[in-house]
Every structure is written in structure tokens, then in C-alpha cells.
């Protein structure tokens, strides 16, 4: 299976700062099959980005995704209070099962 | 807007069978895949498996021997059965609508399942 490694584990930032989250795959992933989710405490995950760079419906444009191959990035341009959450990347490899990264927690500094 | 509601037993004893259902409202089950994902306390997300209306299923190899997925288009429900549960199966279980490229765009609220003697 394809292992996704997210870094850092925790990101401590202030309101208005830029957040850069990394997702590295153990083997190449098609960009079409790479997604990012946000999960707030006690809630189900929410789709943010699919196809590595397409924003899901209703997602603010301060969220953006980029990358290809084995390295993908989620960027939050200016942190708002509701953005302090845990973020997961997810991939599908076709012949290999769906996997999620271990998550990055974005906390208030 | 499509909504997913989940239900099922929340407390099981070891060796029992977990049975969960998700109902799809204001939408069809026929045009998408449907996934089950779980999250152990304080942990990350684990994909359990997926099913489509054509009968296609795919299950995480680590759970394959214990998982059964079913889908009924007529009553718009998707179900998960996990046999021989242990404490390691204690988790919040989610059902999610899944698009062709396997991103999960609509999630149920989750069902907490605890396995304890």
C-alpha cells in the first residue's frame, strides 16, 4: 500500500499567518487521486481539496493545494479562527487501497 | 443537498458482529461509490472499504476476512458488517459518498462503536 507521511505533526501559528502542510507519498500518486480534508474536534472530516488542487464546493479561496508525484502541499494563506483543526491527506492508487496520512494539527500559537 | 444518516449498535462485546447502516437522503446511491472509514480514539483515519451500485466492492486487506459491504438502491441504504470484533475495533465509524477519483465529498455524522466485555 502507499504510505502517506504528513509533516509537521503539529504546526503552531498565529491568526493571519500562512500555513504550509506537507504530504509525502511512499510512491508516486496520480494528482487526480489526491485529496485533503479538515477535521474539527467532534466532527466528521470535511473535503477541502480534490485532484490535488481543486477546491471543493464552499471552500474559501485561502485554501489551496499543489504538488505532484510524491510531494503534495496544502496551503492556508491567512489563518482564520475556524482553520485551527487537524488536516489529512488521502490517496487512491487504483490497484492499492485508499490510505490517509497521519494528520497535521494546526494550533494557535 | 444530499444527506447521510447513520445508525447501528454502539456497544458490543468481543466476538460479536458490528452492523452499521447509512441512509442516503435527497439523493441516489446509484451514481457514486460509498465508503466506510473509521477513526480510533485520538487516532487518524482508516479506510475500511467501498461499494458501488454495480456490486463492485473493495476492502482494506487488513480487514478483508471480516468485512461485508452491501448496498440497496431501492431503499437507498449502504451497510457495513464487521465480524468477530475486538477492543481494537473500538472507533467512530463514518460512511461517506465517494466520487470516481475516490475523494469523499459528503460524510455521515459518524457512529461511535465501543467493544468491551
A2 and chain B in contact, CB less than 8 A: no
The pLDDT score that the predictor gives to residue B43 is 93
List Cβ neighbours of A9 (8 Å cut-off, separation of 6 or more): A102, A103, A104, A105
Query: Is pLDDT at B83 greater than 90 in this prediction?
Result: yes
Burial (CB count within 10 angstroms: exposed 0-12, middle 13-18, buried 19+), residue A77: middle
List all residues of chain B from 60 to 79 with a beta carbon under 8 Å from chain A.
60-61
The pLDDT score that the predictor gives to residue B65 is 95
Interchain CB distance below 8 Å, B44 and A101: yes
A50 and chain B in contact, CB less than 8 A: yes
Q: What is the spatial distance between Cα B90 and Cα B104, in angstroms, rounded to a whole number? A: 22
Average pLDDT of chain B, as a whole number:
95
Average pLDDT of chain A, as a whole number:
96
Q: What is the spatial distance between Cα B80 and Cα B59, in angstroms, rounded to a whole number? A: 11
The pLDDT score that the predictor gives to residue B89 is 98
A48 and chain B in contact, CB less than 8 A: no
A102 and chain B in contact, CB less than 8 A: yes
- Point out the residue among B46, B94, B103 whose CB comes nearest to the CB of A47: B103
Q: Enumerate residue ranges in chain A where pLDDT < 50.
A: none
Residue with cell 483515519: B45
Task: Give the distance from residue B99's alpha carbon to the nearest chain A alpha carbon, in angstroms.
Answer: 10
**CB pairs A-B closer than 8 Å:** 61
Q: What is the spatial distance between Cα B24 and Cα A10, in angstroms, rounded to a whole number? A: 35
A65-80: pLDDT as tens digits: 999 999 999 999 999 9
DSSP A46-104: EEEEETTTEEPTT--TTEEEEEEEEEEEEEESS--GGG-SEEEEEE--SSS--EE---E
Q: Give the chain A residue whose CA is nearest to the CA of B110.
A: A44
List Cβ neighbours of A91 (8 Å cut-off, separation of 6 or more): A2, A4, A25, A29, A33, A34, A35, A98, A99
Amino acid at each position: 500500500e502507499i504510505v502517506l507521511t504528513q509533516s509537521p505533526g503539529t504546526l503552531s501559528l498565529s491568526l493571519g499567518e500562512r500555513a504550509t502542510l506537507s504530504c509525502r507519498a511512499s510512491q508516486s500518486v496520480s494528482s487526480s487521486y489526491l485529496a485533503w480534508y479538515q477535521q474539527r474536534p467532534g466532527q466528521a472530516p470535511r473535503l477541502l481539496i480534490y485532484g490535488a488542487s481543486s477546491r471543493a464546493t464552499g471552500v474559501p479561496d485561502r485554501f489551496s493545494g499543489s504538488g505532484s508525484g510524491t510531494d503534495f502541499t496544502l496551503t492556508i494563506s491567512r489563518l482564520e479562527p475556524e482553520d485551527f483543526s487537524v488536516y489529512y491527506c488521502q490517496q487512491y492508487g487504483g490497484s492499492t487501497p485508499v490510505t490517509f496520512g497521519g494528520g497535521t494539527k494546526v494550533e494557535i500559537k | 443537498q444530499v444527506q447521510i444518516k447513520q445508525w447501528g449498535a454502539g456497544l458490543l462485546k468481543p466476538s460479536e458482529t458490528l452492523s452499521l447502516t447509512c441512509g442516503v437522503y435527497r439523493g441516489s446511491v446509484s451514481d457514486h461509490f460509498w465508503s466506510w472509514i473509521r477513526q480510533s480514539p485520538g487516532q487518524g483515519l482508516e479506510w475500511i472499504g467501498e461499494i458501488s451500485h454495480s456490486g463492485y466492492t473493495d476492502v482494506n486487506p487488513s480487514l478483508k476476512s471480516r468485512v461485508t459491504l452491501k448496498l440497496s438502491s431501492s431503499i437507498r441504504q449502504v451497510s457495513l458488517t464487521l465480524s468477530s470484533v475486538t477492543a481494537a475495533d473500538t472507533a467512530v465509524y463514518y460512511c461517506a459518498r465517494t466520487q470516481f477519483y475516490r475523494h469523499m465529498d459528503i460524510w455521515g455524522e459518524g457512529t461511535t462503536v465501543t467493544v468491551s466485555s
